Amino acid sequence: MLLPQSFYNRSTLQVAQELLGKKLVFRTEVGILSGRIVETEAYIGQDDPACHAAKGRTKRTEIMFGPPGIAYIYLIYGMYYCLNAVTEAADFPAAVLIRALEPLSGIDTMKKHRKQENIRQLTNGPGKICQAFGLDKNMNGADLCNSNLFIEMDKEIAPSDILKTSRIGISVGREKPWRFCIKGNPFASHPKHR
């Protein structure tokens, strides 16, 4: 069952943790691509210096100020895309970055997109997920509750099985423990925890 908009219209920290174990699905012309979410990060509001929307509304970040349950996909480092799910009510800018998946279906297509045979290397990083799924700016703004890209209910992860660490790859806001992984899952982006 597909997660409804009300799932996303809550505290970002709660959504980020509850997304662990859920299934990201993308229906494409070449078949269904899916994977279990095993790593997320929260980016929350104007007081979080690492959040793209920290300095207010811009053309790029207005999507984070919009309604919850929308895909926010942006280009990073000139070559890779990152997929986020917008959270919380409209006018509060926040999102959850999907950082790593355990591939479930469409694995052959993912291998082709990634030019990579090792299943563990297919989706263990936010840029790799978008490459494996073929997601780019064309899917920015897609409604995760009503489009070919959505998230389904699946496993429930017990709080005791969630590892909390600082976020990766940022230069500000490092002190916030807003990265979440399924403990011991081998598909996380950084196998060694910080």
Partner DNA sequence: ACGCTGATGAAG
Partner DNA sequence: TTCATCAGCGTT
Would you say 78 or 184 has its CB closer to DNA?
Answer: 78
Would you say 1 or 98 has its CB closer to DNA?
Answer: 98
State the Cα–Cα distance between residues 19 and 172, nearest whole angstrom: 24
Strand partners, 143: 70
DSSP per position, 153-171:
--PPPPGGGEEEE--SS-S
Would you say 29 or 122 has its CB closer to DNA?
Answer: 122
State the Cα–Cα distance between residues 47 and 175, nearest whole angstrom: 13
Would you say 23 or 179 has its CB closer to DNA?
Answer: 179
State the Cα–Cα distance between residues 171 and 168, nearest whole angstrom: 9
Confirm if 85 and 66 have CB atoms less than 8 A apart.
Answer: no
CB of 116 to DNA, least distance (A): 6
CB of 158 to DNA, least distance (A): 25
CB of 38 to DNA, least distance (A): 13
CB of 86 to DNA, least distance (A): 10
State the Cα–Cα distance between residues 170 and 135, nearest whole angstrom: 22
User: Where do contacts with DNA occur on this chain (CB under 7 A)?
Assistant: 41, 43, 50-52, 55-56, 58-61, 64, 72, 74-80, 82, 84, 95, 97, 114, 116, 121, 125-129, 167-172, 189
CB of 192 to DNA, least distance (A): 14
Residue whose C-alpha is closest to residue 126's, from 153, 98, 104:
98
State the Cα–Cα distance between residues 50 and 30, nearest whole angstrom: 36
Residue whose C-alpha is closest to residue 98's, from 191, 180, 165:
180
Would you say 160 or 171 has its CB closer to DNA?
Answer: 171
CB of 61 to DNA, least distance (A): 5
State the Cα–Cα distance between residues 164 and 161, nearest whole angstrom: 10
Would you say 89 or 172 has its CB closer to DNA?
Answer: 172
